[in-house]
């Protein structure tokens, strides 16, 4: 896999390519993360070429000061990067310099003094239980072809009934089709997890498989697009967008909101955080803990609307 073009001296260019290959082959980062990290380091070297008056080499990287790193992050901020994207850019930069240090190519301690930009604290925005079911029915009914109706229902039920990410659902191959009460999913970082599958979800996948006009093979995609290739996420996103407009749901009603709904409804029904963390494939429990804030917020809303003293007021 080739990294994005880096405007750097030859030695830094080779080091950046080695780091990029290591992320892809050893760390097994997703294509999306690789692309983002590659773009961040490409932007870093582009900035340094302007900042230093020419392509930066490893010797230049070793002499950069804290002010230089801050100037780079400030440039990215001026280019419109959000707090979340800035935090990712700094993570890429730290990872690259950590790799250089480990390989004995560069040892610059100034980067460790930088503080991570604050990320906006946003809560997941799940759908109400009935709204989640309605949007699945609406998306299914909007198709003319029965096999596409069955496909869309199966995919959206996987998101809501098993908590999959859209990319995880569309990444399933024929061999992954559940034959019993569980499903093996490959998530971020190529980490696998085994999920329980509800009978209604398994039945929906079986219905789709029977109607699908394309041969579902072990190594081929489970979910096909109209032209016989692996289904593009944009097709599912459009189906969800059309369904939410028909049902007059907010713009936050996206495919990923079904995954949020899965976690929030499990928590509201007494599920514990550790179990939900495993089901969602979160590396950190702190990521899963956001759903406790959502649940508390919904409880307060119900309390405010239903408490007799509040109603009397």
Q: Which of 151, 165, 244, 260 is catalytic?
A: 165
291 is catalytic: yes
Question: Is the Cβ–Cβ distance between 69 and 93 less than 8 Å?
Answer: yes
Which CA distances in Å does 12 have to 26, 44, 170, 283? Answer: 20, 12, 37, 32
Q: What are phi and psi of 16, to 5 degrees?
A: -65, -40
Q: Which of 76, 259, 260, 265 is catalytic?
A: 259
Q: C-alpha dihedral over 234, 236, 240, 242, to 10 degrees?
A: 70
- Angstrom distance (rounded) from CA 82 to CA 118: 10
Q: Which of 14, 143, 256, 290 is catalytic?
A: 256
165 is catalytic: yes
Q: Which of 14, 188, 193, 241 is catalytic?
A: 188
102 is catalytic: no
Burial 36-65 (b: 16+ CB within 10 A, else e): bbbebbbbbbbbbbeeeeebbbbebbeebe
Element (H, E) at 52: helix 31-52
Catalytic residues: 165, 188, 256, 259, 282, 291
């Amino acid at each position: 896999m080739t990294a994005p073009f880096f405007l750097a001296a030859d030695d830094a260019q080779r080091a950046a390519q080695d780091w990029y290959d290591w992320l892809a082959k050893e760390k097994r980062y997703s294509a999306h993360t690789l692309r983002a990290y590659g773009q961040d380091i490409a932007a870093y070297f582009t900035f340094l070429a302007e900042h230093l008056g020419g392509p930066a080499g490893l010797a230049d990287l070793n002499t950069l000061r804290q002010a230089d790193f801050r100037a780079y992050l400030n440039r990215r901020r001026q280019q419109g990067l959000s707090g979340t994207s800035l935090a990712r850019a700094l993570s890429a930069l730290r990872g690259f310099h950590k790799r250089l240090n480990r390989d004995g190519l560069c040892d610059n301690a100034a980067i460790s003094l930088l503080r991570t930009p604050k990320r906006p604290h946003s809560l997941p925005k799940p759908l109400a239980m009935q709204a989640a079911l309605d949007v699945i029915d609406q998306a299914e009914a909007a198709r003319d072809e029965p096999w596409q109706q069955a496909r869309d229902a199966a995919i959206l039920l996987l998101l809501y009934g098993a908590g999959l990410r859209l990319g995880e659902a569309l990444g399933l191959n024929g061999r992954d089709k559940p034959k019993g009460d569980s499903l093996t999913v490959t998530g971020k970082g190529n980490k696998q997890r085994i999920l329980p599958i509800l009978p209604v979800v398994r039945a929906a996948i079986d219905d789709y498989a029977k109607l699908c006009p394309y041969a579902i093979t072990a190594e081929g995609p489970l979910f096909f697009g109209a032209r016989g290739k692996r289904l593009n996420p944009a097709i599912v996103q459009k189906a969800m967008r059309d369904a939410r407009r028909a049902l007059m749901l907010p713009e936050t009603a996206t495919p990923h909101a079904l995954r949020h709904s899965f976690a929030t409804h499990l928590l509201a029904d007494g599920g514990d955080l550790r179990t939900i963390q495993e089901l969602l494939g979160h590396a950190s429990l702190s990521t899963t803990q956001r759903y406790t804030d959502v649940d508390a917020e919904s409880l307060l809303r119900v309390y405010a609307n239903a408490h007799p003293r509040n109603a009397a007021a």
